[in-house]
Chain A
């Protein structure tokens, strides 16, 4: 993905990566997140990327050959990070298999008010209902902050992508369709 010259090819490989990642989420019994991954990343984000690539019409290929120092630095950083990460986990979780998901009989069973007071967490579940419960009880404040963040991002994008008016020029009224 990072090695292909054309941005469109890169985006296509990226979509394949996201679909493969969704398969990994299914292997982890996280079905809700797998569906979300396909919808948000492969559906929305990559369409946005492809749209921008199409809009900007980039035919300029970057020349990667004459940049020895940055590519050497990138190679070294890549190898170092890989060795550190893999070495850190080596032998730590070796041979530990994932246990079967214990679905609780009812959601009320695990979500009584006393347990939330003590700051305990929900057990892992494959149901989207449990996700909703967690979002709307324990993570209520981060959930609302995320909503405000989306609003700010939306307003910011609109302001940024408005055509820039030169100073002193009268602002023309927007055309009404």
Chain B
């Protein structure tokens, strides 16, 4: 193989940065949740890369837990979104200012 861990870490860092950019930049809460998923996925890629590099299965096992927690988090987040949409008729983060005033 000609590719090393460096390339995977670069892609992982890039995807994490894009995910964080999405969370900060977008106002649509659904897309913010998607960007969160992207960040978790980037961490997964880094973990598997290091796990492969160090010849150690622990990182790959940790990825399984991350995937499970991410799935649970998305389910709860989308349920909260549906409830919010029922009340405010919008999913934009600008309109979710109930605690502001």
Across-interface contacts of A82 in B (CB, < 8 A): 13-14, 17
Contact A85 B24 (CB under 8 A): no
Q: How far is the CB of B2 from chain A (nearest CB, A)?
A: 7
Across-interface contacts of B90 in A (CB, < 8 A): 60
Which of A95, A96, A123, A131 contacts B61 (CB under 8 A)? Answer: A131
- B:8-50 near A, CB below 8 Å: 8-11, 13-22, 24-28, 30-31, 33-35, 37-38, 41, 44-45, 48-49
Contact B82 A56 (CB under 8 A): yes
Q: How far is the CB of B84 from chain A (nearest CB, A)?
A: 10
Total residues of chain B contacting the partner, CB 8 A = 71
Contact A2 B21 (CB under 8 A): yes
Query: Please, which residue of chain A has its CB at the minimum distance from the CB of B74?
Result: A45
Contact B70 A45 (CB under 8 A): yes
- In this complex, the member of B3, B34, B81, B91 whose beta carbon has the largest number of chain A beta carbons within 10 angstroms is B34
Q: Does B1 contact A (CB under 8 A)?
A: yes
Q: Does B96 contact A (CB under 8 A)?
A: no
Contact B82 A93 (CB under 8 A): no
Across-interface contacts of B28 in A (CB, < 8 A): 7, 58, 62
Interface of B toward A, CB cutoff 8 Å: 1-6, 8-11, 13-22, 24-28, 30-31, 33-35, 37-38, 41, 44-45, 48-49, 51-58, 60-61, 63-65, 67-76, 78-83, 85-86, 90-92
**A2-B31, A17-B41 given; 13 more Cβ-contact pairs under 8 Å:** A1-B34, A21-B44, A28-B8, A28-B49, A33-B63, A40-B67, A49-B74, A62-B92, A81-B17, A99-B55, A146-B68, A156-B79, A160-B79
